[in-house]
Structure 1
Amino acid sequence: MYPRGTIYRVGSSKHGQINLHLPFWLKVGYLLGRGIGAGLIASAVVGFIFTYGPMVKEELLYSVSGPRSQSETFQSVRADQNATREEAGSLGLSAYFSLYIPKINAKSEIIANVDAGDPKEYLSALGQGIAHAKGTHFPGQGETIFLFSHSTDSSANLARYNAVFYLLRKLEAGDKIIVFFADKKYEYQVTQKLTTPAKDVSWFSYDDGEETLVLQTCDPPGTTFRRLIVVAKRAS
C-alpha cells in the first residue's frame, strides 16, 4: 500500500504528484494494528452476545408471545405417579424435583439441599438448574420451600445463571407456579412480590404457619445489587 497525495509549495503555482514508499516495519505495524483493532471489536461483540443473549432472548419471546395461558383452575390434584411423570415429561422436566411457571414459560430442574453460603456448591448447582436452599423444606411438608437462582462471580455468569428467573418480575398476585416433587404435582399461587437488600437472608427462615414457596433471584437482572422475592402459597 502506497500513500498518494498532491504536494504543494507555498508561493509557487507548480504542483505535482509523488508516491511515498513506507519502510517495511511501518507497513507491518500498520497491518498489525488493524488486525488487533478488528480482533478487539469482534471479542467485544461476542462477549456482549454471550453475556446478555439469554436475557434478551427471554425478553423478546415474552414480548412476542405475551403471558402464557393459566386456564387450569387451582384445585386439588390427585393424579397418579404415571400421569404426573407424563405431564412433567411433556414440559421437558422430570417429576423428581422441578419447577414450571406457565405465565413466563420458565422451567427447570431443581437441585436439592444446596448450601446458599458456599459459592462453590451453589454455582455448581446453578449450572444445572435452580437451587433449593439447604435447611428449608420440601413440597407437601406444610412449611417454607426456598428456591433461588443467582450468581456473584462475574457478569457473564450472572446473565447465564439468572436466565431461568429472568422474567420473574413479570409475575403478579394470582399467577400460578407448579412444582413437581417425588412424582407428585404441587400448585402454588403468587401472593406478593418485593425487592430486598442483597444481604437480607430473613426469607430463608420465613414461617407464617402455611406451606409457602419463596423464589429469589437477582435484581435488576444480571446484577447483584438487590434480591427479587416472589412469595406463593400452596393452592393444591
Structure 2
Amino acid sequence: MELFRDRFDAGRALGQRLRVLLGDSTDVLVLALPRGGVPVGFEVARMLGVPLDVFVVRKLGTPGHEELAMGAIATGGVTVLNEGIVRRLGIPQVAIAAAVEREARELARRERLFRDGRPPARVWGRTVILVDDGLATGSTMRAALRALRQQEPARTVVGVPVGAPETCAAFQGEADAVVCVHTPARFFAVGQWYEDFTQTTDDEVRELLARAAHGEATALEAP
C-alpha cells in the first residue's frame, strides 16, 4: 500500500469509506481520540458534514504495575474496570478510587485545554464514529468503546486509516461497524504507514476543534 502523506490525507481516505458505509444516516457524531486522532477526525467530519469532538481516555494503571491497565476513565465521567484483572490481583477498592481520582484530574485538565469551555457533545441516540490514526493493540480504542457504550449511542462505528489485521478483526465483534482502510499483513507500528507522523500538539488539537466548533470543518479545504 502507498503511505499516507499525513493524518489529514489518512482522514480523507477514511472519510470516503465511511461516507459509503453511512449513506444517508442522520445525527452522526465524530469522536476523535487525542491527540493523533484529531487531524484524522477533522477530515472525516469535514467530508461527512457532521460535528467533531474529542473523546479523552485515561488508562487506570494497576498499582505497582502501571503499564497494566486495570481499567480506564473517559469523557462523560465514565469509568470502565477490567473486572478480571481486579479480581485476579485482589486490587482493593481504595486503590481503584485513588487511581480514578488521579486520572480524573488529568482528564478534566485535558478536556478544559482542548475544548476551551465548550461542553462535550451529546452522544445519546446518535451514530458515533470513534476515530484514531491507527490500531496496533487497540487497548485505548477498546477502553473508549466500552466507555462510549455507557452513554447509549444508537450505533457505534470504529474508524481508522490503518490497523493490524487481527486487531481490526477483533473489533468486528465489539462495535456495530468497523472501518480499517488498510490492514497490511506486515504491520509493525502505526507510524510506518505515514510519510509524516509528527506528533500532534495540544495547540493543534485546540485549533482543529475550534475550527470544527465554528463550522469550519465542513467549509474549509484541508490544511
Normalising by structure 1, report the TM-score: 0.25
Q: Which has the higher contact order (CA 8 A, sep 6+)?
A: 2
Higher helix share: 2
Normalising by structure 2, report the TM-score: 0.26
Higher strand share: 1
